[in-house]
Structure 1
Amino acid sequence: MSHIEIFDSRYARLKAVDWDFTDASQDSLASIHPYPARFIPDIPRELISGLGCDKGAVILDPFCGSGTTLLEAQRAGFESVGIDLNPIACLISSVKTKELPPEFLPVAHDVYEQAKNTFDGYVDIPTIPNLDHWFKPDVQKALSSLLTHIDEQSDVNLKNALKLALSSIIVRVSNQESDTRYAAIDNNYTANDVLESFLTACNKIHEAKKRNSVNLECSKIFNQDILSVLASDFDKPVGLVITSPPYPNAYEYWLYHKFRMWWLGFDPIQVRTFEIGARPHYQKKNGQTEEDFRKQMSSVFDLLSDVLLSGGHVCFVVGRSVIKGKIVDNAELIRNVAENHKMVLVANIEREIAATKKSFNLKYGKIKTENILIFRKD
């Protein structure tokens, strides 16, 4: 059961919420594309409801992932800004939070037919490391043919939605055993299976968007390293920040999306280089430490201090890490960083994480709880 500490009586209403969210569930938009450790929507929904956001300000998620906070902000009637280094995360967030063009399904069928008709001719296949090991020749050709006709689209929102559909099937039609198991197996996918799977994915996106339409579009999504974002990049002030930073030494988002990035023309090696928290940074002999994570979070709070309105709130959802055998209390680390930036801790909520309702992949460190820290900028 969640344990709630309130340090300012004005926030006593937060005690009425069961922050464990044992009955939490994802809506159909969450399933349009695979993504590890999705943020459960109940957390940002309750934080937005309980804390609010100044009119004319935006809600920011500086580690937006698959866009859960952005979508909940829209549903509550607020503009939102998301930042993520991972281009696949930004693609998912963009499609979730922007209007799906009405011609999406007819164009998807056209792309399907064009790819089918041109499959027997020459198809330019991208250069991807170990491509033949991970993708059968006909699968390579089918994916390349679809991508060629997707790239012919001029409408950005339409192209992004089609690319998301393609991205969602890439691992499934590969020789990779699963999204999280990187062993090669001999699957039986054919070129026709690839084309049919693409069309099915397009229909899935269309149905999910139809059931979850929002009137307000996300104001901006930065596909950028958070440590390189400047206050001048924002055209509106921030009234509320809700995020869950990557836990150090806990996960490798770049690896999960590696083949998707290669196929869509992105560079997963660059993402790996700058990805905060990624396990390779901590596994090397002279690798990163708790102090590196502290410095990274301090840089994030430098930005938040500049863009956040006085009286605005910063909410971090974070659990512990294990680095070189040492348990690191990331919640205490974030608290110290925030308070060094003159932000006041108003609530600390420790929530239990149901095994099937994790907001993060907790295999590493066997984490069973996480903290929601709420700060106010006075």
Structure 2
Amino acid sequence: MQTDYSTLKQLDWQFGDFKKEAKNFTHDLHPYFGKFHPMIARTLIEELAPDSKYIIDPFCGSGTTLVEAKALGKNGIGVDANPLASLMAQVKTTSIDNFILKDIYMNLPEYLLTKYEYIDHYEVLEKIEIIKPEIHNEKKWFQDNVLKELGLIKLSIEEYFQTKDWHEDKVQAAKNLCLLAFSRIITSVSNQQTESKYKAVDKNIENGVAIDKFVDHLRICIDKIEDFNGSTGNVEIEIHNSDSRYLNFIEDEKCDFLVTSPPYLNSWDYGLYHKFRFLWLNLGVKEYNNKEIGRHLRRVGDVVDRYRNDMSLCLKEFSRVLKPGSYCCIVNANSIVKKEYVNTTEIIIEEARKADLILEDIVDKKVFGPHSGMHASLLTKKTEIKSNPATEKMRTSGKEEQIIILKKYDSSKE
């Protein structure tokens, strides 16, 4: 019997003010491109899988789906090839004992500020130089005072946790929280123009600004984590920094609901815009760039065929880890590649069918904010893209996403 999806089609999928909604729980701990609205994940879970026990998001990004799953009392598995995104998702969904949060809140800022008094002492400068990453054209991207302060923050985090006798897992979770607060401020105190503009500008960052920003954001993060601890039940959330083409660490048919938004073809270059965060946190940006699906500005090979092959591998894995009859919901937007329109939704549906993921329906929604597979400028400048019915429709109706509702084939229902 065919399920009626009319309720989903009638919804306003923009759900009002994204920034206001993102302040709930731990959603706004760190900037990240292409986040979908938290209510998309929540609504799909509540409408299609209210009794689900294990929810998976195999392109979990900064963890939106997993935060909502935890808030709903669901177990969850998140996977992302981006190590920075995985760190965000891990911190957002990991409970930390309140006594540890209090210890960090009260003592780490004091430890840092005490060390800051000696920032120009030769021994401190020597330690900072050791811990500071190698940055090409360093002076172009960072002022000298900012380099010292970022180095001191990182050094202080390392030294502070060396003094703690907490269980190893608790130390790592708490340290990750501090590193995420550190990551949050890096772009704003660098000379990178904005989060999504990789251009050097002179910001004239004054002495002490990086230190103050870190302390302020650290305490905001701690408050958010403490509040979220108190609003969720005892559920298991796993975050894996891994490639979703190969989910061999997840057993067959473990999950009973999947909701995700795969990388939009030729959309964001996460490795470029977050480059300095990768460097300061010792994350492998080159390794990630080699694994990223649909990477913007990829210069070699047939990007569309590569995207199809990558998504085919992913969809086979999605099918394997889902129970028969379970839903697989994919939020997607079509793309522009080499000035030509590419219907990636059609590609996903075709490859899903080969993996026994059968199309149930498609829900169209207007794109909210930056979560788009197409560049706005390309839709408004007729000279920029080749004209065809699809691109003309995009120009007249605006950018749209699709929620592709798939269901894993269940032979027992025949």
TM-score, normalisation: structure 1: 0.89
Structure 1 residues 1-378: aligned runs within 5 Å: 8-9=2-3, 11-15=5-9, 17-24=11-18, 25-28=20-23, 29-52=26-49, 57-102=53-98, 103-104=100-101, 105-120=105-120, 121=124, 122=126, 123=128, 124=130, 125-152=132-159, 153=161, 155-213=171-229, 214-230=232-248, 232-234=249-251, 237-281=254-298, 284=299, 286-354=300-368, 357-360=369-372, 362-363=374-375, 366=379, 368-377=399-408, 378=410
Tell me the distance in 1 between the aligned counterparts of 2:145 and 2:224: 30
Which deviates further from its counterpart, 176-185 or 253-262? 176-185
Shift of 1:287: 2.8
Residues 362 and 101 (structure 1 numbering): CA distance in 2 closer, same or farther, change over 3 Å?
farther
Shift of 1:344: 1.8
Q: Hey, what does 2:385 align to over in structure 1?
A: none
Q: Hey, what does 1:4 align to over in structure 2?
A: none
> Which has the higher relative contact order, 1 or 2, with Cα contacts under 8 A spaced 6 or more apart?
1
Shift of 1:363: 2.4
Aligned amino acid, residue 48 of structure 2? L
Shift of 1:325: 2.2
Q: Hey, what does 1:3 align to over in structure 2?
A: none
Structure 1 unaligned segments of length 5 or more: list them.
Answer: 1-6
Shift of 1:79: 0.9
Whether the 8 Å CA contact 2:87–2:176 is kept in 1: the answer is yes
Whether the 8 Å CA contact 1:40–1:358 is kept in 2: the answer is no
Whether the 8 Å CA contact 1:58–1:80 is kept in 2: the answer is yes
Aligned amino acid, residue 374 of structure 1? I
Which deviates further from its counterpart, 309-318 or 265-274? 265-274
Whether the 8 Å CA contact 1:321–1:328 is kept in 2: the answer is yes
Shift of 1:370: 0.7
Tell me the distance in 2 between the aligned counterparts of 1:101 and 1:199: 20
Shift of 1:70: 0.5
Residue identity (%): 31
Tell me the distance in 2 between the aligned counterparts of 1:40 and 1:66: 12
Whether the 8 Å CA contact 2:150–2:210 is kept in 1: the answer is yes
- SS where residue 45 of structure 2 aligns? helix
TM-score, normalisation: structure 2: 0.82
- SS where residue 297 of structure 2 aligns? helix
Shift of 1:188: 2.0
- SS where residue 65 of structure 1 aligns? coil
Which deviates further from its counterpart, 210-219 or 152-161? 210-219
Tell me the distance in 1 between the aligned counterparts of 2:251 and 2:219: 35
Q: Deviations over 1:26-63 (max 9, x none)?
A: 332333211112111111111000111655x4111111
State the aligned residue count: 365
Residues 234 and 108 (structure 1 numbering): CA distance in 2 closer, same or farther, change over 3 Å?
farther
Q: Deviations over 1:246-299 (max 9, x none)?
A: 111111111121100100011212212221111222xx3x43332211111110
Which deviates further from its counterpart, 341-350 or 362-371? 362-371
Tell me the distance in 2 between the aligned counterparts of 1:270 and 1:129: 18
Q: Deviations over 1:306-328 (max 9, x none)?
A: 11111111100001111122211
Q: Deviations over 1:323-372 (max 9, x none)?
A: 12221111111111111112221221011224xx4533642654611100
CA RMSD of aligned residues (A): 2.3
Residues 114 and 307 (structure 1 numbering): CA distance in 2 closer, same or farther, change over 3 Å?
farther
Shift of 1:99: 1.4
Tell me the distance in 1 between the aligned counterparts of 2:349 and 2:257: 17
Which deviates further from its counterpart, 214-223 or 367-376? 214-223
Tell me the distance in 1 between the aligned counterparts of 2:407 and 2:29: 35
Whether the 8 Å CA contact 1:70–1:218 is kept in 2: the answer is no
Which deviates further from its counterpart, 319-328 or 42-51? 319-328
Whether the 8 Å CA contact 2:197–2:273 is kept in 1: the answer is no
- SS where residue 280 of structure 1 aligns? coil
Whether the 8 Å CA contact 1:111–1:150 is kept in 2: the answer is no
Aligned amino acid, residue 372 of structure 2? F
Tell me the distance in 2 between the aligned counterparts of 1:171 and 1:278: 21
Shift of 1:10: 5.0
Shift of 1:17: 3.1
Whether the 8 Å CA contact 2:112–2:153 is kept in 1: the answer is yes
Whether the 8 Å CA contact 1:165–1:205 is kept in 2: the answer is yes
Shift of 1:210: 3.8
Shift of 1:236: 7.8
Tell me the distance in 2 between the aligned counterparts of 1:363 and 1:221: 30
